[in-house]
Structure 1
Amino acid sequence: MTATDTPAWPQCGHLDAGGHCRGHRVAPYTACLAHLGSAERAAHLASLAPGADLDHRGTPFTQGLLDALLAPLRDPASGRARVGNAAFDETRFTGDAELDDIDFGGSCSFASAVFDGGLYAREVRTEGDFRLAAARVAKDVWLDDTDVGVDAWFYEARITGTLRFCVREVGGTAMFRGVTCAAAYFSGVRVCGIASFNGAVINGEADFAGAVFEDGATFETARIAGRACFDGTHFHRSRACFNGADIGGGMPFAEAHFAAEATFEGAAIGGDLTFTGARLESGVDFRRTVFRRTARIGPLVCPGTVDFSHAVFETALTLETAAREVRCRQTRWASTAALRLRHAAVDLSDAVTEFPVTVSGRPRPFVSPHGEAMAEPELLTDLPVRITSVTGVDAAHLVLADTDLTDCLFVGTVHLDQLRFEGRCRLPQPPDGLRWMRRQTLAEERHWRGWAPAPSGADPHEPATLAPVYRQLRKALEDSRNEPGAADFYYGEMEMRRHDTTTSRGERTLLGLYWVLSGYGLRATRALAWLVLAMTATVLTMMLWGLPRTDPDPVSTGTTDGRRITLTTRKPTPVNPEGPYTKRLSASRFEKSLRVVANSVIFRASGQDLTTTGTYVEMTSRLVEPALLGLAVLAVRSRVKR
C-alpha cells in the first residue's frame, strides 16, 4: 500500500504538513495514539489490561510511546507484557524500536512498517505469526531468544543493516522471499515448516550453522555476496534447494544432514564446498552450476547420484566424492582438475577438458580433519570406480587412474590415441571357455558379439567402427611404453578387421590365416603348436617317403695309361623306400628325419641324401617352419617388451 492509498482502517483526523495522519483511530476518539491529547492518551492506556489486542496501524511511534503502550500490559510479578494480537502495519518508528519480554497471544505484525533506526526483539514469544513483510529498516533487525508460534513473514523486507534471526523455534513456515540485508545470521533456529529464502539478497555473509529445517529450505535465485555457512544444518523431510542461487564465497556443510536431495541447479558458487562429516540420504544435483573460484569440493559421501552435468569449473579443482554414481555429462573444466572418487560409476559423456583432468579411484576412505575415516553407509565398499562413458570427450587432456573400464564406451571419443592410463585400469575379458582367448576387450565389442547387452536405446557398433578405436587405444599404450597392454588392443583391431564385411575377401582370408597360425603374432602357444605339428608331419613324411631305401655309395671308375690314372666318381640316385610303412618307421630313419627337420627350422640344409619327395618336403619346411618359429618369438616379445 502506498502513501496515497486510502487505508483500510479508520484514519486519524490529525492534519500536518504531509496531509492527514494515516494512523489507526483510537476508539472512541478521532485521533491515533500518537496524536491523542495527554488526558485522552492516559485514559486510553488506563483502560488496557494484560492480554489486550493492539491495533495501531499507520501510527507514528517512538520508543517512549511504545514503552508507554506496553506498560499497562506488563504482569507485575514477571515483568513480561502480555498482548493479544498486535497490528503495527505501516507504522513509522523514529529511532530504534525495542521489544523486550513480551508474550503475544496471537500475531504480531509490522508489515510495511518503516524504521528510522533498528528493530530489536528480545525474549519475545508469539502464539501466532510474526510479520515484517515489506518493512523498511534503516539499521539492524535482531530477534534474540524469541519463539514464533506459527509463521515468520519477512518477504520483501529491506534491511540496511544485519538481520540476526536467532529465534529458538518457528512453529510454521519462515518466509524470507526477496528480503534484503547486509548480513544474515540464522544460527540454531528451528523451523517446523518450510523455510523460503527465494530471491533474498544478502550483501555480506550468511550463517545458518546448526539450523534445523524440518520441512526443508529453498534458496532459489538468492544472492549472498559472501560466505554461506551451513555447518551442522539439518534439512529434514524435504529437499534443500539452491537452484539459481549466487553465492560469492564458500559453502561449508560440515556435519550437515540432508534427509532428501540437495539441488544446486543453475547456481553460481564462488568458493569451496566442504562436506566433512555430512550425512546425505539421497543425491546432490549440481547441473548447470558455475564454480567460479571453487578449489575443493568434498569429501562428499553420498549414497545416491552426484550430478555435475553441464556444470562449469573455472579454476583448478580437487573433487573428493564417494557416491553410487557421478555424472559429468557435458561438464566443462576450464582449468586442471583432480577427481578422487570411491565406488562411483562415472559418466563423462561429451565433457570438455581444456586442461589435464585426472579421474582416479581411491582405495581407502576419506578422512576428516581429525584423521578419522569417514563412514560410507549404503555404499558397497568393495566396488571400484567405474567409468561408464568417455564418448564425445577430447581425451588429449584426460587421465584415468586405477579405474574399472569394463562398461566404458569409447566410440566417438576425440584424440583417443592421447588418452593416458595410470595405475591399474581394468578392461573386460571375453567369456570363460576354451573358445575364447584371454585378452582385454572393449565394452562395444562385447555388445556386438552378444557377450553383454548394449545400453538401453543404443545399437551395437559394427567392426568397421570398432577397429579405429582399438587402433587409437593401442597407440595410446604404446606411447606410454606399455607394449603388453597395447598387444591386446592390436589383437582387437585385427579381429575387427577380420570381421569387417566392408573389407575385401582376400584381406579377410589373409587375416584369417594370420589368426589361425599365430593369433596375429600374439599367441606364442598357437604358433608353437603349429610348429610342432609341422615338424611332426615333416618327420613322418621323411620317414615314410623322404629318406632313400639305403644311403647311396659313391662308385669310382678309371683308366691307366702307365703314367697317369683318371678316376670318375658317380653317386647313384637315391632309391625310394619300399616295403611296409611300419618297417620304414625305424629308430635310425627317425634320427635322420629329425636331423633334417631340425636343420630346416634354422634355414640350414641337413646334408642328408633325400628322395625327390624328401627334397621338396625339406624345401617347404625350410620356408614354413622358421616362419612359425619367428611368429612364436614375436608373440613372446610382445608380452615381455617394455
Structure 2
Amino acid sequence: MITPPQARVVCAVTDCGGTGVLDGRCPGHLTEDRLTDWLATLAPGADLDLRECRLSAEVFPRIRAAVRDEDGVPRIGQFQFQGGTVTGRADLSGVRFSGKVFLGRATFDAFADFAGARFGADVHAPFLTAPGGIDLGGTEVGGTLYLDDGTFGYLSLANGRYHGPVRLRGAEIEGGLGFYGATVYANADLSAMRITERLDLGGVEFRGALFLQDTSVTDGRLNLFRCRVTGPAVLDGLRVAEDVHLDGAVFKAGARFVGADFGGEFYGVARLGTTADFTRAAFRAPAGLSLCAPEVLFKGARFEEKSTVALRYATVDLTDAVFLQPVAVTARSAPFEGEAADESAFAALDPAVRIRSLRGVDAAMLSLAHTDLSECRFAGSFHLDQVHLEGRWTLASSPPGLRRTRRQVLAEERMWRAWPGRSARARAGWGEPAQNPEDTPGLATLTTVYRQLRKAREDAKDEPGAADLYYGEMEMRRHSHTRARAERWLLDAYWLLSGYGLRASRALGWLALAMVTTIVLLMGFGLPDGTPRQEIRRVGSGSGTIAVLDRPSPRLTKPFADRFTGERFDKALSVTLNSVVFRTSGQDLTTAGGYVEMVSRFTEPVLVGLAALAIRGRLKRGS
C-alpha cells in the first residue's frame, strides 16, 4: 500500500504551488540566507516534502550535504516530490531513502542521477518525466518500483536489486532501457512500453514473472542474453524492429510470444521448463532458434526468410504456420552448448522431437529432420508431396495381429480404425478414438495424404520409405465404399495375394500353395497311366490306300490310391516348375491335366512377378 501524502503548506508566492518549508515559501523561493537556515534544520534521515516545487539542480548537492551522517552517507526518510520540477542535472546518487519516495508527475528536465541509491520502501513515480534520462543503475529498492507511464530520454536499471515488483507499464523511452545484470525478486511488468532504441535484459534474473506484452522497440534490438526468468514470461504482442538475442536465456516456467513481431534476426540457444509459445508470431528476418523445451507452438506463425529451428525434447505444433522461404525443423542429437545447456531438468524425458500437427500448412518450404511423426496430424495441409523428410523419421506402427501386416501408419489412420462406428473386432488394438468425431478424417482425405507423402518419398529416391505409404494409400482405397464394387474386388485380391505388391512373403506363400495344389491335381487327375503308343493304320483299298499315324488320347484308369507315387510326383513337379517360368513341359496330360496346366501357367508366373516386385520395392535405393 502506498501511504497517502500528508497535508502541506503551499508556497506563498503566487502561482508557485510548491510546499512551503520556511516562512511559507518553498526552497526555490527562499533567499540564500533563509535557504541556508532551512538546510541547517535538516538532519540525517529527515523527511522531505517538496511537492510541486521548482528547484534548480544546485540545491541537491546542498541537501545531500545537509543530511549526511557521520559516515558521510546522505540519508533521507520519506521523500515527496510529486509534480516537482528540476532544472539541470539532479544528483541524488548514493542517497539512502529509508521511507517511501513519491515522484509522481515530477519533471527532471536534464538528467536525474539516482545511481547507487538505496530505497528502503516503495518508489512511487508514475508519469515521471526525464527527457535527459534517469540513472537507477546499481540501486536497491526494498518495495515496489513504480514507473508506469513515464517518459525518459533513457532509463538505466542495470545491476540493481529490486525486492518488490517493478512496473514500467506504458513508459516511453526515447533512448534505450538498460536492465542488464539486475535482480528482480518479484514480478516485473514492462508491458505496453515504447522504446526507440535497445531493450537490454541481458543477465537479468527475474525471480517472479516477466510481462512484456505489447511493448515495442521501434529502432533497436532486444537482448535476452543469459536472462533467467523463474515465473512465467509473457511477451505477447512484443514488437522488435531489429535482432533478438536469446542465447543462454532460461525460462523455467515457459515463455509466450503470442502475436509477437520480430523485424530482425531471432537467434540463440534457450531452455524452457514448459511451453515456448510462438503462436501467430512473425519472423521477418532469418531465424536461428535452438530451444530445449517440452513443447513448442508455432500455430499460425509466419516465417518470411530462411530459418532453422533446432530442438530437443520438444513436441511441436505447426498448425496453420506460414513458410515463405525454406524452413528446417530438426532434432538436435547432442546437447546444446552454452549457458542454457543444463538438461538435468529433462532427465526423465525423451530428447526426440515430435511433430504434433501440420494442419493448414503449405509444406512446400518445410524440411523435417530426425523427427517423430507418429502422432502428427497431416489432414488439411497442402503440398505434402513437396515436404522434405530428412534423416531418420518415423510414423506410428500398426498393432500386431494375425491378419495385420506390421507397417508404418499415420496417426489419423489409427483414429479412423478406432472410430466407434466400426466393429469391435476391427477396432481392436488401434487405440482410443478421437474425443471429437469431427477430428477423424475420411478415407478420401487419408488416401490423398498417403499419396502425397508417398510421392514426396519417391521424389527423394526413397523407394523403400515410400512402400508403407503406398500400402496405406491402397488400404484406404480398398476400404472406401465410394469405389466401384469391381474395383474393390480387384483391390481385395491384390491385397490378399501380395499385400499390394509389397509383401514378398505373402506372394511366395501363395505361390507355394499354388504349386502344391497343381502337383496334387496333376497326380490325382492330370497324368495318364502311361505314354500312349503311336499306331499306323491303313485307310482305303487298292491304289487309294493311305497310312494314318494314330495316337490315342491319354487315359487315366489307375485306382485313385495308386496315383500318388514317386514317379508321378516327379512328372507333376516337372510340369509345375515349367509352368512357373511360363514354359510347357511336353508331358502328356489328360484333359483335366491340360486345364490344370493352363491355370498354373497363368497364376504362378503372376505370383512370381508380385514377389519380385515386392522384393525390388524393399531393396531398391535411389540412384
TM-score, normalised on structure 2?
A: 0.91
Secondary structure of the residue aligned to 1:306 is: strand
Q: CA deviation at 1:564?
A: 13
- The letter for the 2-side match of 1:489 is L
How big is the shift at 1:469?
Answer: 1.2
Structure 1 211/455 Cα, relative in aligned 2: closer, same or farther at 3 Å? Answer: farther
CA distance in 2, matches of 1:596, 1:40: 132
Moved more, 456-465 or 627-636: 456-465
Question: What residue number does 1:96 align with?
Answer: none
Closer, same or farther: CA 65–199 of 1 in aligned 2, 3 Å: closer
Give 3-state SS (helix, strand or coil) of 1:609's partner. coil
Q: CA shift at 1:615, angstroms?
A: 0.8
Instruction: Give the drift of 1:294.
Output: 2.2
Sort the Cα spacing of 1:39 and 1:392 in 2 relative to 1 into closer, same or farther, 3 A. closer
Q: What corresponds to 1:95 in structure 2?
A: none
Contact in 2 for aligned 1:257/1:278 (Cα 8 Å): yes
Match of 1:568 in 2: 548
Shift in Å, 1:378: 3.1
Aligned position for 1:435: 403
Matched with 1:383 is 351
Give 1:613-628 correspondences, 5 Å limit. Answer: 613-628=592-607
Does the C-alpha gap of structure 1 residues 596 and 181 become closer, same or farther in structure 2, counting only changes over 3 Å? same
The one-letter amino acid of 2:462's match is N
Instruction: Say yes or no: does 1:282 pair with 2:277.
Output: no
The change in CA–CA distance for 1:112 and 1:492 in structure 2 (over 3 A counts) is same
Tell me how far 1:26 sits from its aligned partner: 4.5
Cα deviation for residue 252 of structure 1 reads 2.8
Which of 319, 338, 355 is the matching residue for 2:308? 338
Q: Which residue of 1 aligns with 2:174?
A: 203
The answer as to 2:166 corresponding to 1:192 is no
Q: Counterparts in 2 of 1:303-342, with a 5 A limit?
A: 303-342=273-312
How many Å apart are 1:463 and its aligned residue? 2.0
The whole-number CA distance in structure 1 between the counterparts of 2:304 and 2:113 is 43
Aligned mates of 2:132, 2:59 — CA distance in 1? 24
Question: Which residue of 1 is the match for residue 565 of structure 2?
Answer: 586
| SS of alignment partner, residue 444 of structure 1 | helix
**Which one is further off, 432-441 or 112-121?**
432-441
Alignment check: 8 A CA contact 1:544 1:577 kept: no
Superposed CA offset, 1:514-548 (max 9, x none): 11111111111111111111111111111111011
Matched, 1:534 2:514: yes
Indicate if the aligned counterparts of 1:547 and 1:577 stay in contact, CA closer than 8 A: no
In the TM superposition, residue 465 of structure 1 has moved relative to its aligned partner by: 2.5
Q: Provide the C-alpha distance between the structure 2 equivalents of 1:339 and 1:253, rounded to a whole number of angstroms.
A: 18
The whole-number CA distance in structure 2 between the counterparts of 1:516 and 1:45 is: 104
The 3-state SS of whatever aligns with 2:93 is: strand
Aligned partner (choices 95, 98, 105) of residue 127 of structure 1:
98
RMSD: 2.6
Change in CA separation of 1:448 and 1:200 when aligned onto 2, cut-off 3 Å: same
User: Counterparts of 2:492 and 2:60 in 1: how far apart (Å)?
Assistant: 100
Q: Return the letter of the residue paired with 2:501.
A: G
Kindly indicate whether residue 136 of structure 2 is the aligned counterpart of residue 165 of structure 1: yes
Determine if contact 1:197/1:220 at 8 Å carries over to the other structure.
yes
* Aligned equivalents of 2:158, 2:510: Cα separation in 1: 80
Aligned twin of 2:378: 410
Instruction: Classify 1:71/1:165 alpha carbon distance in 2 versus 1 (closer, same or farther; 3 Å).
Output: closer
Change (3 A) 1:183 1:533: same
Contact 1:545 1:577 in 2 (8 A): no
Change (3 A) 1:376 1:289: farther
- How much identity, in percent, do the aligned residues show? 38
Cross-structure match for 2:448: 468
How far did 1:33 drift? 4.5
- Find the counterpart in structure 1 of residue 109 from structure 2: 138
User: Which whole-Å CA distance do the structure 2 matches of 1:183 and 1:47 have between them?
Assistant: 35
**Corresponding position: 1:548 with 2:528:** yes
- Given candidates 393, 396, 400, the residue that maps to 2:364 is 396
Match of 1:606 among 585, 592, 609: 585
- CA change 1:443–1:277 in 2 (3 A) is same
Q: Which of the residues 489, 506, 514 maps onto 2:486?
A: 506
* Equivalent position SS for 1:528: helix
Secondary structure of 1:625's counterpart equals helix
User: Could you tell me whether the CA contact under 8 Å between 1:148 and 1:167 is conserved in 2?
Assistant: no
Cα gap change, 1:178 to 1:72, in 2 (>3 Å)? closer
Distance 1:131 1:418, change over 3 A: same
Shift of the alpha carbon at 1:374?
4.1
Structure 1 residues 359-394: Cα deviation after superposition (integer angstroms, max 9, x where no partner): 11110111128xx95435235453310001001111
3-state DSSP of counterpart to 2:536: strand
Aligned to 2:421: none
Structure 2: distance between partners of 1:444 and 1:38: 86
Contact in 1 for aligned 2:52/2:85 (Cα 8 Å): no
Q: Contact 1:191–1:212 at 8 Å: present in 2 too?
A: yes
* Post-superposition CA distance 1:592-626 (Å, at most 9, x none): 11111111112211111111110111111111111
- Is 1:525 aligned to 2:496, yes or no? no
Report the CA distance shift for 1:240/1:474 in structure 2 as closer, same or farther (over 3 A).
Answer: same
C-alpha distance in structure 1 between counterparts of 2:585 and 2:143, whole Å? 103
Superposition pairs of residues 235-384 of structure 1, within 5 angstroms:
235-236=206-207, 238-247=208-217, 248-296=219-267, 298-368=268-338, 373-378=341-346, 380=348, 382-384=350-352
Distance 1:543 1:633, change over 3 A: same
CA contact (8 A) 1:343 1:380 kept: no
Residue type at the aligned position of 2:17:
R
Give per-residue Cα distances to partners, 1:317-371, cap 9 Å, x unaligned.
11111110001111111122111111100001111111111111110111128xx
Change beyond 3 A, Cα 1:383–1:46: closer
Distance in 2 (CA, whole Å) between partners of 1:332 and 1:159 is 38
8 Å Cα contact 1:202-1:223 kept in structure 2? yes
Unaligned runs of 5+ in 2: 1-5, 419-429
Residue of structure 2 in register with 1:102 after alignment:
74
Change in Cα spacing, 1:463 to 1:575, as seen in structure 2 (3 Å) is same
Q: CA deviation at 1:138?
A: 2.1
**Secondary structure in 1 aligned to 2:118?**
strand
Relative distance call for 1:505 and 1:211 in structure 2 (3 A) is: same
**Closer/same/farther in 2, CA of residues 213 and 53 from structure 1, 3 Å limit:** closer
Q: CA deviation at 1:563?
A: 12
Asked if 1 retains the 8 angstrom alpha-carbon contact of 2:536 and 2:548, the reply is yes
**Partner secondary structure for residue 318 of structure 1:** strand
Output the CA distance in 1 between the equivalents of 2:198 and 2:179.
11
Deviations 1:245-280 (A, max 9, x none): 112433333333211111110111234434444333
Q: What is the distance in 2 between the residues matched to 1:64 and 1:290?
A: 45
2:197 counterpart of 1:218: no
How many correspondences in the alignment? 603
Cα distance change, pair 103–449 in 1 and its aligned pair in 2 (3 A): same
